[in-house]
Amino acid sequence: MAKDVLVTTEWVAAHKDDPNVLLVEVDVDTSAYESGHIQGAIAWNWTTQLNDQVRRDILNPQQWAELLSDSGATPDTLIVLYGDNNNWFAAFAYWQLKLFGHENVKLMDGGRKKWELEGRELVKEVPSRAKTQYPIPNRDLDTSIRARQIDVLNSLNKGNVALVDVRSPQEFTGEVIAPPGMTETAQRGGHIPGAVNVPWGKAVNEDGTFKSEAELKQLYESVGVTPDKEVIAYCRIGERSSHTWFVLRELLGFQNVKNYDGSWTEWGSMVGVPIER
């Protein structure tokens, strides 16, 4: 793999009491943490803590600094993320950490699923960490890993851009607009013209771990997603596409990969943008 961005369940079991490691669980099911979690882990709720509660957007730099301060993190803290559903929202948190310039971050390969399959202990005790003063990021958000709607629109006229729609085939064709139970949806169904459909879950094994480098290369290169291209991944609200962004940039080492976190909820609700079905 291209970067040292994964840790194993064995590593977490050995380091869960390390004061220099902040273990964070981020789940699709926001009640999962309360039912039991890895000892020492805190929880980030993606609905209330990783998204602005007024604007439809991720947190601003000040809000981000407040979250990290409340979590007991410093810029040097190693943050290890894991979650349910093959690290779906853990990858979303990872992408945001990178966006705001926190470099010392990893995912636990296999997430909560692998931990449970191995019969490892889950506890209900919520740890207490001393609050810190995490500095407000003083640089622009890393535009090298985030695409805006205008970036995607402009890319349609370029010949060396690969758009990767990581949603289900049913969402891609417009048969459905969102997965069952998801309330934030677009006004129209379909996909961005020229996009290829590679559902995000194809990148993982049955136990939730990532597939081998060779398997991942074959998965994307077979549909024309190659390292020489500018790649933009999108889904419904940017969380599943964060997972694909992680695979392409962090595991396979693609140099030019962006996550379009406005994704289909934005694109499919705009007037006048092109849509294919």
Which residues are marked as active site? 235
Q: Label residue 80 exposed, middle or buried (CB < 10 Å: 0-12, 13-18, 19+).
A: buried
Give the number of residues written for the chain: 277
Encoding tokens for residue 86?
């093959």
Alpha helix ranges (H) inside the chain: 9-15, 32-35, 61-70, 84-99, 111-117, 149-155, 169-173, 213-221, 240-245, 263-267
CA distance 169 to 84: 22
Helix (H, G, I), strand (E, B) or coil at 39: coil
Q: Give 200's contacts (C-beta < 8 A, 6+ positions apart).
A: 88, 166, 167, 235, 240, 241, 243, 244
CA distance 119 to 101: 35
Name the amino acid, one letter, at 273: V
